[in-house]
Structure formats: structure tokens, C-alpha cells
């Protein structure tokens, strides 16, 4: 369900995928990320356009749960992102095909979306990729509002957060996982922590995290604590001579949070890959 976070700021936080949303200005609407599930993407576009034309669509990272729904927003505004998001947009890797990852969720999480889901050839022919990109911080102004697009590398190299100062609201993207397991196995945690420190300087009342319920600025420190805990746990395991597999098996952080909606079966996958990433990085340090 799409909910109003504060006046004119809307987000959806209770479905599989990231937390997409939109902001209403005096001259149109700015969409921030798009729903992974087809029916939710169609519904969000309809909801956003009920407040005016969609002028801009901002993608905060390249992971499929933030960008797949762009397909259902074709013709609705200019798509904007960091350079890296365009570079990696729906890139197929040996370990994951993002199209197949999105497709597998539809029968269980969005059965009404089966008929809306495009075939692979049609999807890749017209994904609605970003047409305006930037390499550092950027500022977007529309009507009465300012959107600060803040480069926050760490979770991904092209990660951004979107700050609307007039609303004291931050769309944090996957800089913040609120009350659910943090996915960090392709991340640079030290960069991520530095990015979170920069977000602490903002004047905030509301944060729309990448995953989990809307929260306040105190969650920034909580996310830093989670990242430090992961680093300490794996480093301590290595110092005690534990193997990578033992480190995975004995990880108590798995009991701290569940994974996000619709990904309950992936808990071991998240823990395993988080540990492997840190173990390998620390071994090479």
C-alpha cells in the first residue's frame, strides 16, 4: 500500500523489492525508484499521475528491485541516475540474471502480474533506462521543491540518496536497511560507513529506507552499528582461526533480523554471501 510519509511525499514499504515512492511538487511529480512487481508498478504510476504529470524518475542504484519497474513507466518523465547505474543497468552476470530474478517472484508475490510481465526480448528492447546521468552530487529543482541527489558509495559504487530539504525527508535507498537483514556482500563497507556519516549532517525528520519501514534519523547510527558488527564478527572469527564455513555456520547475526518481504527463503543465502565477502576482503587486506 502506498502511504503518505509527510505532506506530498509517498512511499510503499510493504511489498517485495525496494521501497519506491514519489514526491508531489507544484509543477509535477518526481518518482524515486520503481516497484519490482508489475501490478505495483502500474498502481504506483497511476497514483503518482493522479497528482500531476511525472516529470522525473530517479533510480538510486542498479539492483533489479530498484529499476525493473522502469519498464512500466515508459513515457513518464526523464529518467535520471548516477553514471554507474546506467553502466550496470540490468546487466546479466554468470551468477545472476536480474530479469529471471524479477520473473521468479511474480507467481508467488504478484500472481495478478503474470499477464503484465514482458517477455525477455521485449523487456531488453525497451527497458526505459536513464537518459540523464551524473558522476557526483547533483541538484534537481522542480516547482517548489529541491531534490539533492547525494552520491553515497558503499552498498554499490553508484549509490545515491535523495534528500528533499523542504520536507526534511531522505529517500535513503539501500544505504539503510531498517529492521531487516542488510545485504552487503558486493559492498565496500568502509565507504558505506563514510557515506552514512555524511547523511548524519542533514536536517531530517523522515527516512524512507531501501528496505523496512519508514524511520527517523536515529536509524543512520543503527545502520552503522550493523556494518561495524559484521566487520567485527568476521574479523574475530578469522583471528580465532575459524574457517569461512565455520564463520557462516556460527553466525549469530542471522537471528537478529529476518530478510525483507518475500525473501524469507533467502536468509542463509544472505548470511553466507555476506560472510564470504568480508572474509575474502579481510584475507586480502
| Residue 140 cell numbers, joined | 534537481
> What pLDDT was estimated at residue 55?
98
Q: How far apart are CA 78 and CA 63, in angstroms?
A: 19
Domain boundaries, the chain: 2-219, 226-284
Q: Tell me the fold of 2-219.
A: Metallo-beta-lactamase; Chain A (3.60.15)
The single residue listed with the C-alpha cell 556494518 is 227
pLDDT, tens digit, 9 for 90 and up, residues 112-136: 999 999 999 999 999 999 999 999 9
Q: Which residues of the chain have a pLDDT value below 50?
A: none
How is the beta sheet containing 160-164 ordered, strand by strand? Answer: 138-142, 145-151, 160-164, 169-177, 206-211
- Grouping H, G, I as helix, E, B as strand and the rest as coil, residue 133 is strand
Tell me the pTM.
0.97
Find the helix packing angle between 189-199 and 218-239, rounded to 10°: 160
pLDDT, tens digit, 9 for 90 and up, residues 230-276: 999 999 999 999 999 999 999 999 998 999 998 888 999 999 999 99
- Grouping H, G, I as helix, E, B as strand and the rest as coil, residue 126 is coil
Q: How far apart are CA 183 and CA 188, in angstroms?
A: 11
> What pLDDT was estimated at residue 95?
76
Amino acid at each position: 500500500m502506498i502511504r503518505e510519509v509527510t505532506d506530498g511525499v509517498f512511499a510503499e514499504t510493504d511489498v517485495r523489492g525496494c521501497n519506491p515512492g514519489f514526491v508531489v511538487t507544484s509543477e509535477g511529480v518526481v518518482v524515486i525508484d520503481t516497484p519490482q512487481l508489475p501490478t505495483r508498478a502500474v498502481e504506483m504510476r497511476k497514483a503518482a499521475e493522479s497528482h500531476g504529470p511525472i516529470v522525473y524518475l530517479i533510480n538510486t542504484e542498479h539492483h533489479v528491485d530498484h529499476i525493473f519497474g522502469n519498464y512500466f513507466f515508459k513515457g513518464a518523465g526523464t529518467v535520471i541516475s548516477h553514471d554507474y547505474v546506467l553502466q550496470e543497468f540490468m546487466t546479466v552476470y554468470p551468477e545472476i540474471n536480474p530479469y529471471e530474478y524479477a520473473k521468479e517472484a511474480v507467481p508467488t508475490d504478484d500472481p495478478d502480474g503474470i499477464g503484465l510481465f514482458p517477455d525477455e526480448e521485449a523487456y531488453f528492447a525497451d527497458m526505459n533506462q536513464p537518459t540523464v546521468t551524473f558522476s557526483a552530487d547533483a541538484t534537481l529543482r522542480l516547482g517548489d521543491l529541491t531534490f539533492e541527489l547525494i552520491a553515497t558509495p558503499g552498498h554499490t559504487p553508484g549509490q545515491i540518496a535523495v534528500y528533499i530539504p523542504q520536507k526534511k525527508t531522505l529517500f535513503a535507498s539501500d544505504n539503510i536497511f531498517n529492521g531487516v537483514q542488510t545485504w552487503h556482500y558486493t559492498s565496500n563497507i568502509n565507504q558505506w560507513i563514510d557515506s552514512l556519516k555524511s547523511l548524519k549532517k542533514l536536517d531530517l525528520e523522515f527516512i524512507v529506507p531501501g528496505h523496512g519501514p519508514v524511520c527517523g534519523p536515529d536509524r543512520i547510527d543503527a545502520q552503522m552499528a550493523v556494518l561495524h558488527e559484521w566487520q567485527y564478527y568476521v574479523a574475530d572469527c578469522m583471528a580465532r582461526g575459524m574457517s569461512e564455513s565455520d564463520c557462516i555456520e556460527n553466525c549469530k547475526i542471522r537471528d537478529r533480523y529476518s530478510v525483507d518481504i518475500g525473501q524469507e527463503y533467502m536468509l542463509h543465502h544472505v548470511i553466507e554471501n555476506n560472510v564470504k565477502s568480508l572474509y575474502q576482503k579481510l584475507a586480502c587486506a
